[in-house]
Structure 1
Amino acid sequence: MKASNGVRELLAARRTGHSLDAQFYTSQEIFDLDMEAIFGRHWIYVGVEPDIPEPGDYFTVKLGRASVVVLRNDDMELRAFHNVCRHRGAQLCNAHKGSVGNLVCPYHQWTYDLSGKLIYAEHMGEDFDPSGRGLKRVHVESVAGLIFVCLAENPPEDFARMRETMARYIGPHQLADCKIAVQDEIVEAGNWKLVMENNRECYHCVSNHPELTISLYEYGFGYQPSPSNIEQVQAFRDLTEREHARWEAAGLKSAEIDELDSCVTGFRTKRLPLDKAGESQTMDAKVACQKLLGNFGERNLGGLSFWTQPNSWHHFMSDHIVTFTVLPIGPDQTLVRTKWLVHKDAVEGRDYDPAKLTAVWRATNQQDRELVEMSQRGVADPAYEPGPYSPYTEELVEKFANWYVGRLKAAVE
């Protein structure tokens, strides 16, 4: 993969434990490299199985210049294709979501079945062979209901490890038996890496996220021990140990697994206790949906968090799921898509109120947007230089940066 000497020098000079050089957040060349080396070669989170619950249901996703259509075929299997007609290249599906019997090109009506096979092409002559003109496949996999795609011809093989590991953690929440209650999209004026870095730490949470920290323990996401807080830090550790034992006994995997910078398909998971009522990430820390997920009979099951490199994070509770997708648009523009899921049989207005369901993360997303955009303005300033990460509260930011730089080096070398 081509990269200028300047980019290679930046990669070689990256200082461990510090933020990245400004060009990683502002350069068009590096953004193009990101789309080819990161989003073009790795497993990218794009949606959930409840996006496409029935045969013929589809959604589209843009990964750099590539458009991908993800659908459910007649056998209820997931399939993904490049969203490009094999005739003259017109885009097949122009809506974000929909339902079709077959995929019909709106330009000249070339028609493909849900397996991608070309089944109709009028006026092409007696010698035309449709067998080699099916849609180009894209790799697609589900992790207990979370959908990932990979544009590479040979995708990273270690995805199977993440899928098998996380199926045990996510499985009891039965995501495939949920429905999307609310979906939001925000375009943030910041580089996608700033969005991910902001998510990977809670150093900023107490002073910036009053709604989120209602249900999150102050000492749950990294804290520098000191004589003034040693008792509180230890109390949270003891609480977590007790709750993990209780949840594990009930069949809920809870222990931390951290492979954020040790695998090509980087990921991390952990179930943590919630504060106050301890039931859900809401303004009163009580469930937002009265109909619980899966076969749960108890509300106080903490919050299972799942992070993936390079573009997602997710929170699973007893009553609902919140899932986040980060999709780069340009060097200083990023789409953040948030979905709130509840049990498929939950009734709006009776079992849940969308306003209560979304209040915490709608507020948090807007606050994070302001922080990311503030950071983008700062890294573009000539005075910016990489600063040190906190070893207590920004450890996961360092792991994201390590993973990112490592994957770029592997691509250009």
Structure 2
Amino acid sequence: MKVSADIQALVDRRKQGYSLEAPFYLSEEIFRLDMDAIFRQHWIQVAVEPDVPEPGDYVTVELGSDSILIVRDDDMQVRAFHNVCRHRGARLCNEDKGTVGNIVCPYHSWTYNLSGDLMFAEHMGEQFDRCKHSLKSVHVENLAGLIFVCLAENPPVDFAVMRAAMEPYLLPHDLPNCKIAAQIDIIEKGNWKLTMENNRECYHCVANHPELTISLYEYGFGYQRSPANAEGMDAFERTCIERARQWEEMNLPSVEIDRLSDVTGFRTQRLPLDRSGESQTLDAKVASKKLLGEFRQADLGGLSFWTQPNSWHHFMSDHIVTFSVIPLSAGETLVRTKWLVHKDAQEGVDYDVSNLTAVWNATNDQDRALVEYSQRGASSSAYEPGPYSPFTEGLVEKFSDWYVRRLASHIDSSASEPRTINIKAV
């Protein structure tokens, strides 16, 4: 995609430590660039392994104009394909999720197995080579049960770095042996970057998230030290040190890893939870009596995992909450939230869905309003980039800096590519 001089200038003059200029949130041209430079070039978190628990189970994910089919094959491997028939391009699976024996095109019944091989295509003649018409695969990676796809021909190779760092943190929670207890999709009337920026700070949490802050320590996400809060911050730091020692003895890593500047950027940290200290619920106690993996202790804090450009996740002793952000337009964003519990947990016996989802249902609604306030504000002629707090918005700056650097890299690489000239016969 060739970018205009105006977009190039916006990228070049981005001021570190400040929010982005308004066109980054409002321009449909920049939205198209975002899809090309970010969502078609990087590893995008789109699903979880329990979305497709059995062979033939599938989910579809829309990334801009591309529909991605994620399916479990007969060997229990998770595969990803372009959801497009190799005959005349019809959409293959037209539901959000389902189960199939084979993948059958609804138009002319071309039939593919779960590995994407074309098995049946009637009336194509003896010279037709089925082997040349398999489904087009999409790069897919499974990180401890979190499913990522990449649409690029050559995906970023540093996914292996994230895997090596994160598996010791995630595997004890045993996400593959969970089930999805609830899923909520909401559409925020705001740009996807505002959704991500809002997630990357808790400056707003005390004033806006009464349900979430029941279980979160006030000082857990950055605070400016003052005489008024020094005692509380010191107590929190002592709690973190003591709990980290206990977790390490249980082979539960907790130390912060921050690689948000990598091409495949990520960050993680396990922090204590407040009050009962067990889970992100309205009473800070477990929402599911059936603990995950081999856990025998409930108060294991909250493990948070953030990825660039589109996801964040919270892992606790009893349940997991995953969030995946998908841009729809310059001014609309899909936020998909899933709550997972142990696969053997029984609804109504071990957990109640309303209790399980109460905190993040409320928080999502509150965040949606905040994102929409910001989107409307960015469209004002009075808007100009404002300064980030160095104490509470450092992760917002890391997201914005990563985003602009990835745009700049894409623009540079596109400018250096040779032009292709198409000559039409007259």
Task: Give the TM-score, by structure 2 length.
Answer: 0.96
Partner of 2:173: 173
Q: 1:259 is matched with which residue? A: 259
- 2:194 corresponds to 1:194: yes
* 1:21 matched residue in structure 2: 21
Q: How big is each residue's C-alpha offset from its partner over 1:55-83, in whole Å with a ceiling of 9 and x where there is no partner?
A: 11110001111100011100001110000
* Partner residue, 1:298: 297
User: What pairs with 1:119-158 in structure 2 (closer than 5 Å)?
Assistant: 119-158=119-158
Pairwise CA distance, 1:238: 1.2
Name the structure 2 match of 1:347: 346
Deviations 1:100-159 (A, max 9, x none): 111000000001111111111111112211111100010001110000000001000000
CA displacement 1:204-252 (0-9 Å, x = unmatched):
0000000000000011111001111112112111110111110011010
Aligned residue for 2:76?
76
Q: 2: CA distance between counterparts of 1:118 and 1:23?
A: 45
The answer to whether residue 258 in structure 2 is matched with residue 273 in structure 1 is: no
Distance in 1, Cα, partners of 2:403 & 2:238: 34
Q: CA deviation at 1:93?
A: 0.6
SS at match of 1:135: coil
- The CA deviation at 1:305 is 0.1
RMSD, aligned α-carbons: 0.6
Per the alignment, in what secondary structure is the counterpart of residue 98 of structure 2?
strand
Alignment of 1:2-401 (within 5 A): 2-261=2-261, 263-401=262-400
Equivalent position amino acid for 1:84 in 2: V
CA distance in 1, matches of 2:320, 2:309: 20
- Distance between the aligned counterparts of 1:129 and 1:350, measured in 2? 55
Give per-residue Cα distances to partners, 1:369-400, cap 9 Å, x unaligned: 00000100000111100000000000000000
Paired residue type of 2:333: T
Cα distance in 2 between the residues matched to 1:126 and 1:229: 79
Q: Distance in 1 between matches of 2:113 and 2:182?
A: 30
Which string of whole-angstrom CA distances, capped at 9 and with x for unpartnered residues, describes residues 323-362 of structure 1? 0000000000000000000000000000000010000000
Q: C-alpha separation between the residues in 1 aligned to 2:389 and 2:152?
A: 35
Distance of 1:51 and 1:93 partners within structure 2: 15
Q: Hey, what's the Cα distance between the residues in 1 that align with 2:72 and 2:116?
A: 12
Q: CA–CA distance in 1 between the matches of 2:106 and 2:371? A: 39
**In the TM superposition, what is the alpha-carbon distance from 1:199 to its structure 2 partner?**
0.2
Distance 2:241 2:155 in 1: 37
Write the letter of the residue equivalent to 1:303.
G
Q: How far apart, CA to CA, are the structure 2 residues paired with 1:266 and 1:380?
A: 29
Q: Structure 2, unaligned stretches of length 5 or more?
A: 413-426
Opposite residue 323 of structure 2, the aligned amino acid is: F
Which amino acid letter does the alignment assign opposite residue 239 of structure 2?
A: L
TM-score, normalised to structure 1, is 0.99
Supply the distance in 2 between the matched residues of 1:131 and 1:288 (Cα, whole angstroms): 50
Displaced runs of 4 or more, over 4 A: none
Bigger shift: residues 23-32 or 118-127: 118-127
Distance (Å, rounded) in 1 between the aligned partners of 2:367 and 2:408: 29
Q: Secondary structure at the match of 1:373?
A: helix
SS of 1:38 mapped into structure 2: helix
- Which stretches in structure 1 are left out of the alignment for 5+ residues? none
- C-alpha distance in structure 2 between counterparts of 1:165 and 1:95, whole Å: 35
Q: CA deviation at 1:175?
A: 0.3
Question: 2-side partners of 1:233 and 1:260: how far apart?
Answer: 25
- In structure 1, what is the Cα distance between the partners aligned to 2:72 and 2:28? 36
Structure 1 stretch displaced more, 339-348 or 128-137: 128-137
Amino acid at match of 1:356: N
Task: State the one-letter code of the partner of 1:343.
Answer: H
Counterpart Cα distance in 2 of 1:265 and 1:233: 32
Deviations 1:268-290 (A, max 9, x none): 00000000111000000000000
Rounded to whole Å, the distance in 2 between the matches of 1:55 and 1:188 is 34
Which residue identity lines up with residue 164 of structure 1 in the other structure? A
**d(CA) in 2 for partners of 1:2, 1:134:** 32
Secondary structure of 1:381's aligned partner: coil
